Amino acid sequence: MVSPTFIFYFTLTLFLFLNVSKAQNKASNKTILVDKSGKGQFTSVQKAIDSIPSNNKQWTTILVNAGVYKEKVTIVKDKQYIILKGKDRLSTVIEWDDSGNSLKSSTFLLYAPNFMARDITFKNTYNLVLEDDVVKKITWAPAALLYADKASFYGCGFIGIQDTLTDLQGRHFFYNCYIEGAVDFIWGFGQSLYQNSEIHVKSKDIGVWKAFITAQGRESDSQTSGFVFKYCKVTGTGPAYLGRAYKSHSTVVYYQSSFDNIIAPEGWNIMRQAGNEKYITYAEVQCKGPGANLSKRVKWEKTLSSGELQKFIDRKLFLNQDNWIEEQLIHV
């Protein structure tokens, strides 16, 4: 039998070891300051990123002072281990106006794994401001494109109209974020958990009369991708569909989330996958609010067993088997 004294000293030693390790990790970080007025090393976010050497192995924090940075920002594949941190998502904004391509038109493009963003907003201003009360053609205009594994976002904003968050590929974690759009504004083949976040539908005021929140692209049972919304809230204007199937095995789960009275009664839609309903996993579990009435939902909405549900809502089981989220957090 292990004595209480041994347990105490073992726990204390482990605590000290972890905190020393964390301090060492933080001490080894490099910090770069971006400030529009010239009070930092750079006035441009892209120039700060470009200053990081190729094949970087050292966690580097880019602190972005408050301001609106009108630029397109790309993090290429060999610029790993970057933390992009603003003051808060309302005062620190990276924005650009581009449209017409679901990939290339994005304001922010991430191709490097091992990335974290905190307290910053990515915005595509196309169609957000009407010109002479005229709405431009609704088309692809992403605010952010994620084509990399192990990317996390805390307190961030993503604002656009169509394809706002191109969650294209890899494992991604979003916490306390704000995502706004109207047409397929969270889409892609990503394996992502959205937790304690607000999903805001902006449709009627820009001429969109039927909104689609997600267009997830899972294509087979062997894939593990899907979008999970846990403890989120859906607000804005409707009618809005929780998702429309982009590929044959499209997978989206809402768990213990709240819906304003904007959700279309049938809840879900199909883009071009009619006939594949039995393969699609669309589910709502323990959701609430006036938009959460299930009585008129599509008949092919799934009812998940407790085991199936756990594989989606348990962060470790769904996307964090190698503890990459915790490994990132020790460097903040």
Helix (H/G/I), strand (E/B), else coil: 22: helix
Distance CA 297, CA 295 (A): 6
What the chain holds in terms of domains, given with CATH numbers, is 65-329 (2.160.20.10)
Q: Which residues contact 58 (CB under 8 A, 6 or more apart)?
A: 28, 29, 30, 81
Could you read off the pLDDT of 235-289 as tens digits, one per residue? Answer: 998 899 999 999 999 999 999 999 999 999 999 999 877 788 999 999 999 999 9
The structure's pTM equals: 0.90
Query: Looking at residue 206, what is its pLDDT?
Result: 65
What is the mean predicted confidence (pLDDT) over 48-57? 96
35 annotated active-site: no
Distance CA 192, CA 226 (A): 6
Other CB atoms within a 10 A radius of the CB of residue 330 amount to 15
Q: 119, 167, 184, 260: which is the annotated catalytic residue?
A: 184
Could you read off the pLDDT of 315-325 as tens digits, one per residue? Answer: 999 999 999 99
The two structure tokens encoding residue 318: 């769904």
Predicted confidence band of residue 16 (pLDDT cuts 50, 70, 90) = very low
Interstrand relation of 165-169 and 115-118 (parallel, antiparallel or unpaired): unpaired
163 annotated active-site: yes
Which residues are registered as beta bridge partners of 169?
Answer: 147
Q: 35, 50, 88, 163: which is the annotated catalytic residue?
A: 163
